[in-house]
Amino acid sequence: MQRQILRNKNKIALISGILIAVGFLSKWIQDNTDILTWSLIIASLFGVAPIAIQAYQALRVKVVSIDVLVTIAVIGAFIIRNYEEAAIVTFLFLFGAYLEQRTLNKTRSAIKELTEMAPESALRQMPNGEFEEVEVDEVDVGDILLVKTGAKIPVDGTVLYGEGSVNEASITGESLPVSKEKGSKVYAGTILDNGTIQISADRVGEDTTFGKIIELVEEAQDSKSEAERFIDRFSKYYTPAVLVLGFVVWLFSSNLELAITILVLGCPGALVIGVPVSNVAGIGNGARHGILLKGSEVISDFSSLDTMVFDKTGTLTVGNPSVAEREYYGDNIDEVLGYLASVERESDHPLAKAVLAEIGETTFSPVENTEVVKGGGVVATVDGHRIAVGNVALMEREGVEIDEKVKADIARCERNGNSLVLTAVDGELKVLMGIRDQLRPGVKEDLQRLKKLRVKNLIMLSGDNQGTVDVVSRELGLTEAHGNMLPEDKAAYIKHLIEEEGQIVAFVGDGVNDSPSLALAHIGIAMGSGTDVAIETSDVVLMNSDFGRLPHALGLAKAISRNMKQNIFIAVGVVLLLLAGVLFSDWVNMTIGMLVHEGSILLVILNGMRLLRYKLR
């Protein structure tokens, strides 16, 4: 019975409204007070039923909710035979709840749009070589799938055959199509605009990037910020306090109508709902722009940060460096380049890719006993030779002699802003390459936008040599720049900024090598193209590694924080105004109080919904 009543709450509100209208029309047209009275009584009983059930359910778990206050107020109105206010208050409360739900559903549109984008079926290759349509849940890792023009890509995978353009807006927030060919990665939930491709399934179901995005957005929208937790605690004591205030007023004034009016006016509905709606709408805006704010608790620190620390490669630069300068020492250089290429082809590091692109076609040899020296490079055995590939520190560790000419070459390369890759064979230096990365397009303007958003310090920490770091820092106008830093050095520097200088720090990195810094900073921001490590380590994820989204993310966090404060001000201001009105004047009654109360709830919801349209100026 209770479930049936609650399920039909909106219909009850409609019936209640019709009965009230019929009653007043009979009074105005026929001057029939009996029909008016009975219409109001029936409307009150209909309207209070779902409210009383919700009040009972709240009291069972020892919570004095808004429904309890309204139920007591309606009972009190019946006792003093004020059926008009009892009927109107219950109708306004139910109608307000209906409007609140409708408008709140709009703020959750981002997650709804995401779930609707989720693919439901796939064309899977069968043992006979034919492709048959199956449910996406039936696809396993390693299956070969066919995707045709206009279809949603059902899994994360690798293109085996074919070419096409893919709209990756559901992952990156960027609507421009991305060309895909053999070997390209594709993501579930994206759409093949044109072409036909066959893909091998790498990740399926909830393990796909798209599945993780939906999960994160759902968790973020359901999480509570510090402000929300405070308001929850506040309302836990505030609502009973209003009940006690109403009782005290009745006790001293013997005015039951005044007491029940105070119960209605003191309802903290707008206060309770104002902060969550701001968070939900803001997180929804971020999701549509390829920005994942991982929970409401992230917003407080993010909106008030004063220092932003950046990794260099792949963050401030495009992460696709090329060899700009090279020096060879001694004989048998072609053979040495073959050794170097053999070592580097086992690495995914951007510098290794640049070295391989520079060497081109060569003879590869088996690589054995590979040792990765953190922050230094790689040492391995190739054709019986000990090959060391890395920076100057690695060469010193290996006891490689560096003469004056080499020192001069190194200094020149560093002055020109190059990262260094040195290669030694059996302790003898053979190759020096200076590799330069290009700055991300528009990164200088984006950093200026961050300054306008009141980020006081822009700091770069990099494993590259100080000369390279200084060149980039001067070009971008950074506050500080520190080179030759290992991952643990970066983490220690972040800790120093937080604990000794008392700064609120965000760290922006690739989410792989810099995971300690991402975890230590108040806000970890991953430029990760949706990689697992980036998503799991950071607080904010820029899904397409677009640095230009960073000012939008920060501006959005500040807008959410402002919006929450505005909603709290509106909610508290309305309650104080109404209580002052009922205690010190005679213009406020129970009906007006409920009308203004519901109006304030709608006002804070509409104010929060403005965040859905937020754009950085």
Top-confidence residue, 355 or 52: 355
Q: Say whether 510 is catalytic.
A: no
Of 41-50, 151-160, 204-213, the least confident? 204-213
pLDDT > 60? residue 529: no
CB atoms within 10 A of CB 1: 7
pLDDT class of 540 with cuts at 50, 70, 90:
confident
Q: Catalytic residue among 311, 510, 514, 539, which? A: 311
Average of per-residue pLDDT across 343-367: 86
Contact 232, 186 (CB under 8 A): no
Across 536-617, where does the E strand assignment appear?
Answer: 540-542
Q: Highest mean pLDDT: which of 263-267, 408-412, 434-438? A: 408-412
> Would you say how long the chain is, in residues?
617
pLDDT > 90? residue 267: no
Q: How does DSSP classify residue 88?
A: H
Determine whether domain 120-153+156-203 maps to CATH 3.30.9.10: no
Provide the terminal-to-terminal Cα distance of the chain, rounded to the nearest Å: 53
Of 59-63, 281-285, 441-445, 604-608, the least confident? 59-63
Pairing of strands 121-125, 144-147: antiparallel
Of 25-34, 94-103, 221-230, 546-555, the least confident? 221-230
| pLDDT computed for residue 61 by the predictor | 75
Question: What residue ranges of the chain are covered by domains with CATH 2.70.150.10?
Answer: 120-153+156-203
Question: What residue ranges of the chain are covered by domains with CATH 3.40.1110.10?
Answer: 322-436
Average of per-residue pLDDT across 165-177: 66
- Nearest residue to 467 via CA among 357, 351, 322, 312: 312
pLDDT > 70? residue 224: no
Q: Which sign does the torsion angle of CA 497, 502, 506, 512 carry?
A: positive
Q: Highest mean pLDDT: which of 71-80, 108-117, 163-172, 412-421? A: 412-421
pLDDT > 70? residue 406: yes
pLDDT class of 115 with cuts at 50, 70, 90:
low
Contact 543, 172 (CB under 8 A): yes
Residues 6+ apart with CB under 8 A from 214: 111, 114, 115, 118
| pLDDT computed for residue 281 by the predictor | 81
d(CA 248, CA 453): 49
- pLDDT tens digits, 326-342: 999 988 899 999 999 99
Element housing 344 (H / E): helix 333-344
pLDDT > 80? residue 492: yes
Fold of 322-436: Calcium-transporting ATPase, cytoplasmic domain N (3.40.1110)
Looking at domain 288-317+440-554, which CATH architecture does it have?
A: 3-Layer(aba) Sandwich (3.40)
CB atoms within 10 A of CB 318: 17
Buried b / exposed e over 444-483, threshold 16 CB at 10 Å, is eebbebbeebebebbbbbbbbbebbbbbbbeebebeebbb
Question: What residue ranges of the chain are covered by domains with CATH 3.40.50.1000?
Answer: 288-317+440-554
Of 34-43, 269-278, 302-311, the least confident? 269-278
For helices 549-584 and 226-253, give the axis angle rounded to 10 degrees: 0
pTM: 0.65
| pLDDT computed for residue 226 by the predictor | 61
Pairing of strands 121-125, 505-509: unpaired
Chain centroid offset of residue 64 CA: 34
| pLDDT computed for residue 530 by the predictor | 42
- Nearest residue to 570 via CA among 269, 246, 221: 269
Average of per-residue pLDDT across 34-50: 83
pLDDT class of 612 with cuts at 50, 70, 90:
confident
pLDDT > 60? residue 558: yes
d(CA 617, CA 456): 19
Q: How many percent of the chain have pLDDT more than 90?
A: 17
428-436 β-sheet, strand order: 322-328, 428-436, 419-425, 385-390, 377-382, 367-373
> Which two tokens mark 535?
């998503």
Contact 429, 401 (CB under 8 A): yes
